[in-house]
Amino acid sequence: MKSCTEYLWFNTKKKREYINITQQVEDIVKNSGVKEGMVLVSAMHITASVYVNDDEDGIIQDIDEWLDKLAPQRRDYKHHHTGESNADAHLKNLIMHHEVLVPITQGKLDFGPWQQIFYAEFDGQRRKRVVVKVIGE
């Protein structure tokens, strides 16, 4: 069994961004030499997410608007009593989750049509990372 761990670093220009990281993950899988296995891609911060979906501007905008309805920016969150102001980012993380697991078949990500891996930043403009862990043979 082989394993490989690499980190992707982000420091977004905006507080909220959606970044397609599929190519970076594919490169890590290729360099790992794993032909059959799994890749775990996980945001290492509680105000960011990793998810799989279509790389289409309309759906990304729909996701963003949907998240704002479910976890809007408000001043009355209990978390804000601690001196923080990012409770909505924590809630968005819970909705979108922090990681994905993608199968590797014949050395490639085994996706369905249109599937891509995204890093979603909900409280950006500071340095954050994602772990990419490849395991297999």
C-beta of residue 51 within 8 angstroms of C-beta of residue 96: yes
d(CA 129, CA 48): 9
Tokens encoding 12:
């977004």
Please give the order of strands across the beta sheet that includes 128-136. Answer: 2-10, 128-136, 36-43, 99-105, 108-109
Residue 54 lies in a domain: yes
Residue 80 falls within a domain, yes or no? no
Place of tokens 């799989």: 52
Q: Which two tokens stand for residue 88?
A: 């909505």
Whether 17 is in a domain gets the answer: yes
Nearest to 132 by CA among 5, 3, 20: 5
**Residue 52 token pair:** 């799989």
pLDDT, tens digit only, all 137 positions of the chain: 999 999 999 999 999 999 999 999 999 999 999 999 999 999 999 999 999 999 999 999 999 999 999 999 999 999 999 999 999 999 999 999 999 999 999 999 999 999 999 999 999 999 999 999 999 99
Q: Which secondary structure element, helix H or strand E, spans residue 94, and what is its range?
A: helix 87-96
pLDDT at 95: 97
Note whether residue 68 is domain-resident: yes
Task: Count up the domains in the chain and report the number.
Answer: 1
Is residue 127 domain-resident? yes
pLDDT value at residue 47: 98
Q: Which domain holds residue 15?
A: 2-73+85-136
CATH number, domain of 17, equals: 2.60.120.460
- Asked if residue 79 belongs to a domain, the reply is no
Identify the pLDDT of residue 90.
97
The predicted pLDDT at position 10 comes to 97
